[in-house]
Chains A and B, each alone.
Chain A
Amino acid sequence: MEPAHGDDKPHLPPPSLWPVGFAIGVACILVGLIVRPLVIVPIGAAIAIVFAFLWARDATRDYRTVSVPEVEPERRPPRRRARAIPAHRGEAGMPEPEPGEIERFPRSIFLEGATLGFGALIGGLVTIPVLGPAIAEAFVRGKKHEFDLGPITNFPVGKYVITTFFTDPSEGTVSRRTAYIRNNGDSPKGPSFTIISNRCAHLGCPVQPNGPVFDNQKKTTHSRSAGDVTIIPALPAGFGCPCHGGQYDKEGNRTAGPPVRGLDRYEYLIRDGHLVLLKPFSVWKVNGTGANAKIQKYPLTNPGDHVHGIESWLYPWQPPR
């Protein structure tokens, strides 16, 4: 039974020094982990456990030493023909408890709670590791973003080429990606490229060049980071998506159809005369062309999600990629 909390009673539990000893024990463990784990940690643990026990004993003294009211010894008139309760009658044969006798400490409720509690604890402990591969894995794996597409001399100035490469050659065809690449020639800041992703900004289908594709002039190179790289010249007047008819101009700006923004682009750098593709990013709109283009750039966003304007408020967060 819990002691009654009145305004005239001192606050419980009373102040005590045992927590200090407990803290010393914990400090000992922490120091021991650095200095001598095998010797000092057990000593610290012992100190902590002893003081924790003393602290708990002290703090609960008033709860434990509450005087239990004297129970009147039970007196029942002896039955005339008292018989042993037959075993097969079991619990039904037990005498009914007196009203005051029950509910002092409901053991069955304790057991119920313990069973459910331990069950929930075990269930939780088993579930937590499962969440790692099932959910977290999709969000933590960092992919490399650096693909060597071969010497820049393979990319004719002022013309688009269809370039395919592999983001992970060991995975095979599933990792093949396509980019439309145009060499814009030299600019004051070095060689300039327009590198447009073929992923439609509507729902992610592969956009196609609107114009002739010269398959017979196909070039193939190989690099360790991008696997087999194929380069096919094309003469697009723009890009179009076969799935739902989204249309884009030569800079990847949306001109018609359902897409919500322009085509994504890739960052790039020139290393040892090779064109190296970096991370993709999303684009709202491009003003101007080629090396002079003003690109309204956003972090890579899911197809179909707005990056600009009031609709973009619906997509405040993008998962890490």
Chain B
Amino acid sequence: MPRNRKSARRQRMEQAIVYPLDWLEERSGLIGGIRYFLFRKVPADTNWMQTLGSATLTAFIVQAVTGVILAMFYKPDPNSAYQSIQHITNDVTLGWLVRGMHRWGASVFIILMFFHMARVFLFGAYKYPRELNWIIGVLLLVLGMLEGFTGYLLPWDQTAYWATVVGINLNGTAPFLGPFLAQFLRGGAEIGPDTISRFYSLHMLLLPGAIIGLIGLHLYLVVRLGVSSPPWSKEAAGADRVEPEPTPGRRGLLQPGARGGIPR
């Protein structure tokens, strides 16, 4: 009897775990998709700078989650918006923390986007064939700043109100169509009840939806084109994508060995 033969009980356990995954894979191909997404070859000399993109994504997810919670308590109405923020901060359990995470996380998100952009620029990672991903990233930056602009009004205090007045009127000074853009943003000739609900809707529905869609495209291109080596890399650029060989020592549920399991 070979020494590495597993006990019958352990085999049954593994089967029980693999079976539902197998079932899902056969019907959807999702497991293979996840494997394609996660188990990629990356250059051996990647470094911490190349985690800034994931950090930005994490910051966005924090914004999304805390935003959903805040939306449960926030009232986008000129006569109750400020009071609802006070309620979140002072009365709701850990509301101060969630609001703080959203408020400071917004700055973190923007700052990380700039750091990520600087990394891509300095590493030359925007060059062929990754130009399109740079363009998508710029669109994400613009949408992120629009999130900042629309979110800034929502606390509905003096700072929020007058900063938004100034921001809208800045748009109004654009030549030719500027005044129309300003009126569109205000939802009328003056800031009023429609403005705050309009900004709220843009802030939590339209802009995040667009950001999520573009992040999907952004990640798809990262996976498709691969991670670029740093400029000082000794590895030759432009090597073909090589499917990783499963090594016996790294067998896992999603990375099965020759014994079977989920078909590759």
B179 with A137: CB separation less than 8 A: no
A307 nearest CB across to chain B (Å): 12
| A6 in the interface (beta carbon within 8 A) | no
| A167 in the interface (beta carbon within 8 A) | yes
B-contacting 9-mer, from A211-219, A262-270, A312-320: A312-320
Residue-wise interface mask of B (167-206) relative to A, using a CB-CB cutoff of 8 A (1 in contact, 0 not): 0111011011011101110111111111000000000000
Q: Is chain B's binding surface mostly helix, strand, loop or mixed?
A: helix
Residues of the B chain whose Cβ atoms lie less than 8 Å from the Cβ of A305? 172-173, 178-179
Q: How large is the interface on A (under 10, 10 to 19, 20 to 34, 35 or more residues)?
A: 20 to 34
| B79 in the interface (beta carbon within 8 A) | yes
| B104 in the interface (beta carbon within 8 A) | no
- The residue that B178 contacts in the complex, of A137, A141, A243, A302, with Cβ under 8 A, is A302
* A292-316 contacts to B (CB < 8 Å): 301-305, 314-316
The answer to whether residues A203 and B190 also contact, given A305-B179, A315-B178 and a CB cut-off of 8 A, is no
Residue of B nearest to A141 (CB): B188
B192 with A319: CB separation less than 8 A: no
Residue of B nearest to A319 (CB): B183
A208 nearest CB across to chain B (Å): 13
Q: What is the bound-complex CA distance between A143 and B178, given in angstroms?
A: 21
Residue-wise interface mask of A (118-155) relative to B, using a CB-CB cutoff of 8 A (1 in contact, 0 not): 00000000000000000101110101000000000000
| A159 in the interface (beta carbon within 8 A) | no
Residues of the B chain whose Cβ atoms lie less than 8 Å from the Cβ of A172? 78-79
Total inter-chain residue pairs, C-beta < 8 Å: 82
Residue of B nearest to A243 (CB): B166
Residues of the B chain whose Cβ atoms lie less than 8 Å from the Cβ of A138? 183-184, 186-188, 194
A171 with B178: CB separation less than 8 A: no
Q: What is the bound-complex CA distance between A304 and B180, given in angstroms?
A: 14
A139 with B176: CB separation less than 8 A: no
Pairs A–B under 8 Å by Cβ, sample size 26 = A138-B186, A141-B188, A167-B190, A171-B78, A171-B193, A172-B78, A173-B79, A174-B79, A174-B192, A175-B192, A203-B170, A205-B162, A205-B165, A243-B166, A301-B179, A302-B172, A302-B173, A302-B182, A305-B172, A305-B173, A305-B179, A314-B175, A317-B176, A317-B180, A319-B183, A321-B189
Contact surface of A with B, Cβ cutoff 8 Å:
135, 137-139, 141, 143, 167-168, 171-175, 203-206, 243, 301-305, 314-319, 321
**Which 6 residue pairs of A and B lie closest in terms of their CB atoms, listed nearest first?**
A302-B172, A304-B173, A321-B189, A174-B78, A314-B175, A203-B169
